[in-house]
Chains A and B, each alone.
Chain A
């Protein structure tokens, strides 16, 4: 069997095994899920290592006939492949899941069988989204990845899980509908569902029609990211989701939105993307500051981190729509970085929640004295999230801000404010949780992190340091594809300038 099919469907095989195991065998169920995700992680790392970053071509390509759309002659193919835009996402999805599964030991105690089932199904869906290169197949995986979370929040979530689930459902539904419309429209327009072909041909479409398709895809993915002003479902979903659900949501699911913007917004419609780049840059930059202000006002730690996600994803969108090499590469790396640091933050908050059964900031204080190991990891993660040079966050953020500055200095300058406000809310929360005197009796005798909790965070911690010190191999993986993409954007820019007739100086383009 080929590598991509194996890695994508292995979690589904694990899910089948889970299905066949009696619900009472909780240990076995957990073991199956953990082993499955560990094997997938190894395969993911292998794939990452074998991937040739200098090439723009789809690698590990699988292309088989699947079926023909009824009532037309349009073939739908089983086409999987990885390029520089997706390799890091695939690797991240593979590497994060064992951590997620291991974290459930602490907080999933009911209906373990179903939980593991949904988690594994979701992994197949997420991997599928990143490797699918047929639009129908992509849409299929997209839906497969969404449904499990809806159950995970709805069944294993917190007190307001019903509200959060409905909200999440409505937004998702709206996004999926809009996307489906666009999918069907573009397939019938070009009589093909092959994504690489569509990416080549879509720009030939009249700009008026192109803009509508771009808008539909962009809207669908912006809801998923979420980009301002579609972000309000995220805070509720995150706050109510169980820890593992929050980690997957922040770590991978949101990246499907940013990945979608990259693949179906920019790669497919470079002309329309160029036209609307100022809007997206503005929304990204404002989102950075807006999310930071939201985070500053929160009293619930988990909600605070959810709001910080809005801010961090603002960076990703800002860098992407800068449409410069630096911005794009920083944006892709930042997708990984956000998964690592926000994933870690959710894990840590989950660990303290399991001990104290509260997430209210004023219930903590002085924890550093009682839980020094926890304190070490929290401070480390906060620094990674605050983009301290030497850790992962800085590399992505620097490239994004630089890319944005090269495109539109104004938005870069507004976004740089996020560097300040980001430190404000992160350090304020850290201080209120860790420092000061211990004011609550319950906090005096907290158990520090155990071995399992430390081990499950280690892969992400190591990655954070590794990317911080040696980002080059990670950035190199995206090189071929980004060179291709940047060139495509330049062609579109040239066409746009030519159509303007009035020659523009280099200064005004910058």
Chain B
């Protein structure tokens, strides 16, 4: 596929799909208006959308195979170049590149994306915006593929903003309700804050490297970093780009939009807000790993932000009642893990966790969606309970996802999380403090995950039997669950730890991409763990996961008494945690409301009174002249010309002769 336009069809197929679904949407609207019937949209849209993604998936697999057949150090396939922005010597072109990293992302995005498209065909059935939903979903996949395939940072930014747009549209999909539209707006604006930082980062890279082609930048980092005058700019640039990541990947300080984003339909939460879009920041750091690795301080910042976000997200999930909110905060927390790993230079481990997380968190969200679907749009776990009998397939797959998320031994999440923690521990120094935070968060994760399982599927049925009749979801929904469950259970084989004496598949595969960053880090010393230490960490991880999973499960298997107890005895703590450490509330108090006030003061006092008054000649003069000039306004061209002429001649004479 190299050098051709064929590679372009990977993102373009979903784009065409989006356009087709959009047309179907408007055609349906026209038909409904035409015959006045409440005719429901046909099944054409999901077919088109799924076919488009299936096509992309097929092409991605083909590209992956072609790539794998190449020798390890030559694994790059580049498409034809799209000449985009040319201004003088600056050339911002976009080409698509499949290398080991983007190949992994490709498979995740199109693979998990395809499953979620299929699931959505069942989940969204009957919604008046059925076709529109698939248009947005396909548009999202197009943007996400542009993000992971672009060779240039500016092309990546096209996808980066595109996924943000789709996220905005899909969070606010049920806009009639009001609050989803507000949540969408919040997500877009929080992301814009990150994007502003990203933009400045890109300007700095242009200043330093004269290009935004990421492979050229990666190749030149070592040279730039050795020049003290430029190294400072490189550090600032890396931090600015990371600022962009905190928006897109919901890290401190910009994570507060993600819990609100749950207002969107659940498949959206699974695809965008768990499996793909929110991992874009992780992808960016790995893609430009030398830029970040050039300064160890930047790495420590990334690791610290990751660890703190993991902790805040995890603790915030503990007492949530809304099943989707638990998963949302859990996602914030797990993304924090990925950045924690990145901060220690464990690039491959972060991608490993990204992949397993896409499996198990996508699964959990879809499972939650199946529960919500079966419970007639109920999301409060306090009103669930005992669902395992009613929804056995959802239950079984959900268990697999929960086990993987909580890091129970030998499941996918166990290996990927353990790997991140092992690298953080091995990195030593301050990173061992971060490791401590990671371990605590692992315990919390196991606890809230099994609390969720117990509250939802075990114990007494706490819903109203007269109104709610829980039922299993149709095959179109549970089959994707089953596929993801298998991946969640066995996904760990992608990266078994060294003590198992088999090659780490993913790490070996990503080696050509991560090598430059690792080389830069190695200049500040290398870190390895002895096998004994590694066994110890694996053992510790297993014990913590098992113990806290049991604690969480046992505390809630009997019902909701524990929550009520905490709310009664420690209301402040419960409030603090449910409100995610009150960070969002502070933003409103410190940023949002003052900004509105400033806008008001600017518009009324500064603009209308001060500037307008001043420039008009203190208001009164304006009115006075206005009255006198009425004759002009009545429309005499002659007097207008006369005024201009007379005044000008006068001034011109003054200019020349005075």
- Chain A interface residues toward B at CB < 8 A: 143, 147, 150-151, 154-155, 162-163, 165-167, 169-170, 173, 176-178, 180-181, 184-185, 188, 229-232, 290, 293-294, 296-298, 307, 325-326, 329-330, 366, 368-369, 372-373, 376, 379, 383, 388-390, 394-395, 398-399, 401-402, 405-406, 409, 412-413, 416-417, 419-420, 423-424, 427-428, 431, 434-438, 470-472, 475-476, 479, 482-483, 486, 507
Which 6 A-B residue pairings sit nearest by Cβ, starting from the closest?
A325-B88, A180-B648, A297-B603, A435-B181, A435-B175, A296-B599
Q: B419 CB to closest chain A CB, in angstroms? A: 35
Asked if A147 meets B189 with Cβ closer than 8 Å, knowing A388-B161, A399-B85, the reply is no
Q: Tell whether, in the assembled complex, residue B637 and residue A147 are in contact, meaning their CB atoms are under 8 Å apart.
A: yes
22 A-B Cβ contacts within 8 A? Answer: A147-B640, A155-B635, A169-B629, A170-B622, A176-B648, A180-B647, A229-B614, A373-B26, A389-B158, A389-B162, A390-B158, A399-B85, A405-B203, A405-B204, A416-B200, A419-B195, A423-B192, A427-B188, A428-B185, A471-B84, A472-B86, A507-B229
- Nearest opposing residue in chain B for A507, CB measure: B229
Q: A184-B652, A427-B185 are in contact. Are A476 and B86 (CB under 8 A)?
A: yes
- CB nearest to A425 among chain B residues: B599
Q: How large is the interface on B (under 10, 10 to 19, 20 to 34, 35 or more residues)?
A: 35 or more
Q: How far is the CA of A167 from the CA of B154 in the complex (A)?
A: 43
Q: Which residue of A is nearest B634, CB measured?
A: A154
User: Which B residues touch A402, using CB under 8 A?
Assistant: 90, 203, 206
A180 touches B652 (CB 8 A): yes
Chain A residues within 8 Å of B84, by CB: 470-472
The answer to whether A369 and B176 have CB atoms under 8 Å apart is yes
Knowing A185-B652, A185-B656, say if A419 contacts B192 (CB, 8 Å).
yes
Also in contact, A180 and B165, with CB within 8 A (given A229-B615, A294-B599, A401-B199): no
Tell me, yes or no, whether B172 is within 8 Å of chain A by CB.
yes
Tell me whether B633 is interfacial, beta carbon within 8 Å: yes
Which chain B residue lies CB-closest to A162?
B633
In the bound complex, CA of A143 to CA of B602 (Å): 33
A297 and B178 contact, CB distance less than 8 A = no
Give min CB distance, A196 to chain B, whole Å: 23
Complex interface: chain B residues within 8 A of A427 (CB): 168, 185, 188-189
Of B451-459, B465-473, B604-612, the segment with at least 4 beta carbons within 8 Å of chain A is: B604-612
Central interface residue in B154, B607, B629, by most chain A CB within 10 Å: B607
Residue picked from B615, B625, B647, most chain A C-beta under 10 Å: B615
Contacts of A293 in B (CB 8 A): 598-599, 602-603
Is B607 in contact with A372, judged by CB distance below 8 angstroms?
no
User: What residues of A have a CB within 8 angstroms of the CB of B551 in the complex?
Assistant: none
When chains A and B are docked, how far (Å) is the Cα of A50 from the Cα of B608? 47
- Residues in A with CB closer than 8 Å to B206 are 402
- Chain A contacts for B169, CB-based, 8 A: 379
State whether the Cβ of B643 lies closer than 8 Å to any Cβ in chain A: yes
Query: Quick check: B632 and A169 within 8 Å, CB to CB?
Result: yes
* Residue numbers in A under 8 Å from B157 (CB-CB): 389
Q: Which residues of B contact A399 (CB under 8 A)?
A: 85, 87
Residues of A within 8 A of B85 (CB): 395, 398-399, 471-472, 475
Distance of A406 Cα from B88 Cα, bound (Å): 14
A232-B607, A326-B90, A435-B181 known; 4 new pairs, CB 8 Å cut-off, are A176-B644, A329-B88, A379-B169, A435-B172
Q: Which residue of chain B has its CB nearest to the CB of A422?
A: B192
B544-563 interface bits toward A, Cβ cutoff 8 Å, 1 = contact, 0 = none: 00000000000000000000
A229-B611, A431-B182 are known contacts. Are A405 and B88 too (CB-CB below 8 A)?
Answer: no
Once bound together, how far apart are the Cα atoms of A150 and B29, in whole Å? Answer: 43
Contact with A along B171-187 (1 / 0, CB 8 A): 01001111001100100
Q: Which residues of B contact A (CB under 8 A)?
A: 26, 29, 83-90, 154, 157-158, 160-162, 165, 168-169, 172, 175-178, 181-182, 185, 188-189, 192-193, 195-196, 199-200, 203-204, 206-207, 229, 595-596, 598-600, 602-604, 607-608, 611-612, 614-616, 622, 625-626, 629, 632-633, 635, 637, 640-641, 643-644, 647-648, 651-652, 655-656
* Nearest-Cβ distance from residue B186 to partner chain A, whole angstroms: 9
SS class, residues of chain A in contact with chain B: helix
In whole Å, how far is A236's beta carbon from the nearest beta carbon of chain B? 9
Cα–Cα distance between A188 and B656 once the two chains are bound (Å): 9
Residues of B within 8 A of A180 (CB): 644, 647-648, 651-652
Q: How far is the CB of A145 from the nearest CB of chain B, in Å?
A: 14
Contact A424 B189, CB 8 Å, known A177-B644, A294-B599, A325-B90: yes
Q: Which residues of B contact A475 (CB under 8 A)?
A: 85-87
Residues of A within 8 A of B625 (CB): 166, 170
B185 pairs with A290, CB closer than 8 A: no
Chain B residues closer than 8 Å to A409, beta-carbon distance: 203
Interchain CB contact (< 8 A) of B616 among A167, A188, A479: A167
Q: Which of B177, B596, B602, B629 contacts A166 (CB 8 A)?
A: B629
Would you give the shortest CB distance from A381 to chain B, in whole angstroms? 14
A339→B40 CA distance, assembly (Å): 40
Distance between A58 CB and nearest chain B CB, rounded to angstroms:
21
Complex Cα spacing A230 to B157, Å: 35
CA distance A325 to B88 in the complex (A): 6
Instruction: Give complex CA distance A133, B595 in Å.
Output: 46
Task: Tell which of B165, B195, B652 touches A181, judged by Cβ atoms closer than 8 Å.
Answer: B652
A390 CB contacts on chain B under 8 angstroms? 158, 161-162
Which B residues are CB-close (under 8 A) to A298?
Answer: 603
**CB <8 Å contact, B655 and A184:** yes
